[in-house]
Amino acid sequence: HRPGGRIDFENVSFGYEGSAGEPVLKNINMTCLPGETIGIIGSTGSGKSSLVSLVPRFYDTSSGSICVDGVDIRQLDPAKLRDRIAIVPQKTILFSGTIEENLRWGHEQATNDEIVHAANMAEAHSFIAACPEGYETRLGQRGVNLSGGQKQRLSIARALVRKPDILILDDCTSALDTATETKIKQSLKAFAADVTCLIIAQRITSVMDADKVVVMDDGEIVGIGTHETLMKSCRVYVEICQS
């Protein structure tokens, strides 16, 4: 397994095509070291999802550059770049098929052991094993109905099956209780220590143990640091903590 990717944002600005007015991201500078866990926090519309969507090149920067392991991502083969990155989106997407098919999706070559290992890390194995037909249980109209939190855990497991160098969790733990969320983060630390993780969250508790937290406000980074540093130095962070 390759070591996690280093990501460098340098003077990045970005605006959606057709949207008049101010850019959505302004002069973003940040470095994510291999294996680091970076929390990203900020009010709704502050640009968190836009920021992470630039890494796999769902969109390209308007100005500035993003490098992965020192290479400008525009110089990389997009398929190879995306192969190294797994994104768990805000809205879980599962299709009608078995749980296993859903976990294997996009990475058909995964072995059964790899599937179970990923499910374990995502705290999904126990409820899958408790389903009528385990990993062969069908989802969707004529299958089992899962809770929002169970769906989120399948979505995280699916990303882990791909063994990414860079893992992006876009506010995908909102339906999980804090204890489950903590267990998943501990598993990631233990078994995927070399994966660079970007974790967008609404709750401070989701990011306060990250190596560093990036605070977004109106398309700009207004603070980068540990929870302790930001509590002393970043007004927006303190406000989020108090809200």
Which parts of this chain interact with ligand DUT (CB under 6 A)?
16, 19, 24, 42, 44-50
Q: Min. distance of Cβ 25 from ligand DUT in angstroms?
A: 8
Q: Min. distance of Cβ 198 from ligand DUT in angstroms?
A: 12
d(CA 108, CA 243): 43
Select 24 or 73, whichever has its Cβ closest to ligand DUT: 24
Select 45 or 134, whichever has its Cβ closest to ligand DUT: 45
DSSP assignment of 131-144, as one string? Answer: STTGGGPBBSTTSB
Select 92 or 98, whichever has its Cβ closest to ligand DUT: 92
Q: Min. distance of Cβ 2 from ligand DUT in angstroms?
A: 28
Q: Min. distance of Cβ 206 from ligand DUT in angstroms?
A: 13
Structure tokens at 48: 């968190």
Select 47 or 223, whichever has its Cβ closest to ligand DUT: 47
Select 48 or 212, whichever has its Cβ closest to ligand DUT: 48
Q: Min. distance of Cβ 129 from ligand DUT in angstroms?
A: 33
Helices in the chain by DSSP H: which ranges? 48-53, 78-83, 99-104, 112-121, 125-129, 148-161, 178-191, 227-233, 235-242
Q: What angle do CA 167, 129, 197 make, to 5 degrees?
A: 10
